[in-house]
Amino acid sequence: MDEPIVIQRFRSLHFPSWTVPIALLLLCIASFGLLAPWLGLYWDDWSQLLVPRLYSYGAYWTYFASDRPFSAWTHILLVPLLGGDPLHWQIFTLGLRWLTACAMWWSMSRLWPTARRQVTLAAFLFAIYPAFSQQPISVAYHQHWLQYLLFFVSLGTMILAAKQPRRAGLYLPLSLITLALHLSITEFFIGVETLRPLFLWFALDGVVTVKRERLRRVALLYLPYLLVFSIYVVWRLFLVQFPGQDPHSPELLQQLFSAPAAALAQFGRFAAMDVLFILVANWSRVFDLRLLDINQSMVLLSWLVGLAAAIGLAFYLSHLQEPDSQVESDAPHWRRQAALLGGLITLLGPAPIWITGHQLVNTVDFHTDRFALVAMLGVSLLCVALLDWAGRGPAHSAVLLSLLVGLAVGFHLRTANDYRWMWTQQERFYWQLYWRAPYIEPGTALISEDEFLPNQELFSSSSAINLLYPQPSQPQDLAYWMYTLLPRYSDGIPASGQIDYHTRLRIYTFSASTPDSLLIHYDPQKGGCYWILRPDDGDNPDLSELVRQALPFSNLERIRPQPIAGDYPPEAYFGPEPQHNWCYYFQKADLARQEEDWQAIAALGDEAAALGYSPTHPEANSTYEWIPFIQGYARAGRWDTASQLLIAVYQRDNKYGNYLCKTWSGLYHQAESDPAAQAGSAAVSAALGCSY
């Protein structure tokens, strides 16, 4: 029986090689782009975007002078174009990653023109290899993807110059310029740059058959690259002058001369652990069995998108035309070259961080997997060489690789969702801070017990807060900085009762002393909102002993009730003001309590109640967050509403009994003669057992 014509056409469908960049783009969008509109700014993004807001674009030279003096050019070029809008940066950095994958495919295809099928497989794996999981940190990591892109352009044009001597006058200058540009950004590629002679050796394979002549050609072709590379290494190790201590000093390299045995042993430990992570352990995040809980919508979506990516890629690869691909008899030769080159790149990729005495596998720093970026090229080649050797043919290798890619796509989508929630938490904090404190006096330290924005670090939050409020241009010191009590004061607050803060980060400095400070508390198990604590909150049972000791540090006089500029918070960074929820009403009521505007609190309480908020509402079930409304209603003369609210709060959470009794006692003793106050007090006393 003849097949239907639709199936016949489906079987005969073929994709030309020029569609590979399109397929790579679709893969990158599926992995990193679906949640881009809901992603924001993270980590180094904040401190880097603060530079032109306070100083000028030229200040980036000073900002990066402490570690990578020449890398400022990428920010000076791009920040004026992209501004501070997170979506602009998400799209741009995703575009850089896609172009990098395309450049990898292009340059490796120039190196192995008869192995286009294998190179194409490696390009798809490279595009989404799961060792690097920080794609949403878009402002900071645009430099890394731009550097990777320049590296591949330099590599590809070098190969073309070697294979086409007549056009070397075009390709060689472009290759050297992109080499210099990519070295100006970071030192990540120092290890892999030592492999250029091997790239040239493979590029001339089949072009120059006599090995001695090929060796001579490789040496001549490599000379200009060796010159540029040597100048960079000498400058980086011996000539560059940093304003402070070099944060990337080659300590382990220097130790080779003083204690070579210990240095080599440590280098070996770093290499073993990090290479094992890059090759094997990072896939544990992809195969996490907890992700089988498909009742979670994002987990289910990630599996569906990953499955669609795997099926789509397998179909695409099985119908991809590569008329100039090698015959299978040549495959062992390619596999040997790819395995050798891939293994060396995997080993040398993280080497620059090892020689500084650090490593990729780090349980303290969330962001260290960026050191696996360079090795992604090597491990992609290595994996495809292994699949090509172990597979039963091209179709089998394509299916196996598509399964790996599909799993990685799902992992990246789930990771993007984690970053989406990080951004949501940040937005909640910064907008609640602004609602509670429309302006904070400069020179104020913001203190919390511990970090409550996960994996952002205090310098990131501090930079964001300095973007949240207006400041004069060219300030000598920043207006605000965030600190934590833990771990430094885990044994208690100093006996002097005062803490002096002095911080320097690149071009930023900050100095302050308590009580020129505010104490911020957040515990999602105890309340949904952020609390700026008051010195009289000592009876709050949800506070730790350490926080109670620090309550005198919270000086509400640092807060002004009105903003001093109309265009803050800047929407470019923080987005439009979110819909007013429970935390808006709590923060505004707490601000009104500070100003003793009791009628405003009562009006806010009525508005919140009209929206359905009550002590039993899941968003408003924190006793502490109802205290301003209880006080506001009572001081506004609405004793019945205040007493009923207090009783309802107590019935939901009776551990606040002592705190509520003291709060009511303070209110009642100011209006003992008021019959309404007496009636309310009787009801409160009956319910809580308070005595006045």
> Sorting pLDDT into bands at 50, 70 and 90, what band is 295?
low
Is residue 469's pLDDT more than 80?
A: yes
Task: Quote the CA–CA distance of 689 and 222 in Å, as a whole number.
Answer: 88
Q: What is the mean pLDDT of residues 332-337?
A: 90
Mean pLDDT of the chain: 91
Which comes out higher in pLDDT, residue 293 or 54? 54
Q: Which helix (H) or strand (E) holds 115?
A: none
The pair phi, psi for residue 44, each rounded to 5°, is: -65, -15
Q: Is 650 helix (H, G, I), strand (E, B) or coil?
A: helix
Is residue 329's pLDDT more than 70?
A: no
Contact indicator for 151, 187 with CB cutoff of 8 Å: no
In one letter, which amino acid is 6? V
Task: Quote the CA–CA distance of 678 and 683 in Å, as a whole number.
Answer: 9
Residue 413 neighbours by CB under 8 Å, 6+ apart: 30, 31, 34, 35, 298, 301, 302, 305, 306
Q: What is the pLDDT of residue 10?
A: 58
Task: Quote the CA–CA distance of 158 and 116 in Å, as a whole number.
Answer: 19
Distances (CA, A) of 608 to 199, 593, 632: 68, 16, 14
Residue 179 neighbours by CB under 8 Å, 6+ apart: 150, 154, 193, 225, 228, 229
Q: What is the pLDDT of residue 292?
A: 66
Q: What is the pLDDT of residue 407?
A: 94
Per-residue pLDDT tens digits for 7-56: 555 566 788 999 999 999 999 999 999 999 999 999 999 999 999 999 99
Is residue 587's pLDDT more than 80?
A: yes
So where are the chain's domains? 12-41+84-419, 584-692
CB-facing half-sphere around the CA of 653: CA atoms within 13 A: 21
Which comes out higher in pLDDT, residue 648 or 287? 648
Task: Quote the CA–CA distance of 41 and 90 in Å, as a whole number.
Answer: 9
Task: Quote the CA–CA distance of 414 and 420 in Å, as a whole number.
Answer: 10
Which stretches does DSSP call E strand in 281-434? none
Q: What is the mean pLDDT of residues 300-323?
A: 89
Q: What is the pLDDT of residue 289?
A: 60
Query: Among candidates 115, 203, 120, which has minimal Cα distance to 155?
Result: 203
Q: Is 518 helix (H, G, I), strand (E, B) or coil?
A: strand
Which comes out higher in pLDDT, residue 290 or 586? 586
What is the per-residue DSSP string for 266-302?
Answer: HHHHHHHHHHHHHHTGGGGGTS-GGGG-TTSHHHHHH
Q: What is the pLDDT of residue 293?
A: 67
Is residue 241's pLDDT more than 90?
A: no
Return the minimum-mean-pLDDT range out of 7-21, 381-395, 517-531, 593-607: 7-21
Per-residue pLDDT tens digits for 258-278: 787 887 888 888 889 999 999
Q: What is the pLDDT of residue 238?
A: 81
Number of H helices, E strands in the chain: 28, 8
Q: What is the mean pLDDT of residues 333-339?
A: 93
Q: Which 8-state DSSP code applies to residue 578?
A: P
Q: Is 530 helix (H, G, I), strand (E, B) or coil?
A: coil
pTM of the shown model: 0.93
Contact indicator for 108, 378 with CB cutoff of 8 Å: no
Per-residue pLDDT tens digits for 161-208: 999 999 999 999 999 999 999 999 999 999 999 999 999 999 999 888
Q: What percent of the chain has pLDDT over 70?
A: 95
> Which two three-digit tokens encode residue 286?
């992809």
Distances (CA, A) of 296 to 32, 300, 303, 418, 424: 20, 6, 11, 13, 18
Q: What is the pLDDT of residue 291?
A: 65
Task: Quote the CA–CA distance of 457 and 449 in Å, as a whole number.
Answer: 14
Q: What is the pLDDT of residue 33?
A: 96
Q: What is the mean pLDDT of residues 641-647?
A: 94
Task: Quote the CA–CA distance of 234 and 67 in Å, as a whole number.
Answer: 15
Return the minimum-mean-pLDDT range out of 70-84, 311-325, 373-387, 595-609: 311-325
Beta 517-521 vs 444-448: how paired, if at all?
Answer: parallel
Q: Is 438 helix (H, G, I), strand (E, B) or coil?
A: coil
The pair phi, psi for residue 522, each rounded to 5°, is: -150, 125
Residue 564 neighbours by CB under 8 Å, 6+ apart: 439, 470
Q: What is the pLDDT of residue 544?
A: 94
Per-residue pLDDT tens digits for 392-451: 778 888 999 999 999 999 999 999 999 999 999 999 999 999 999 999 999 999 999 999
Asked if residue 173 has a cis previous peptide bond (ω within 30° of 0), the answer is no
Query: Among candidates 134, 175, 173, 144, which has minimal Cα distance to 74?
Result: 144
- Order of strands, sheet of 531-532, starting from the edge strand that comes earlier in the sequence: 480-484, 444-448, 517-521, 531-532
Q: What is the pLDDT of residue 244?
A: 66
The pair phi, psi for residue 560, each rounded to 5°, is: -100, 140
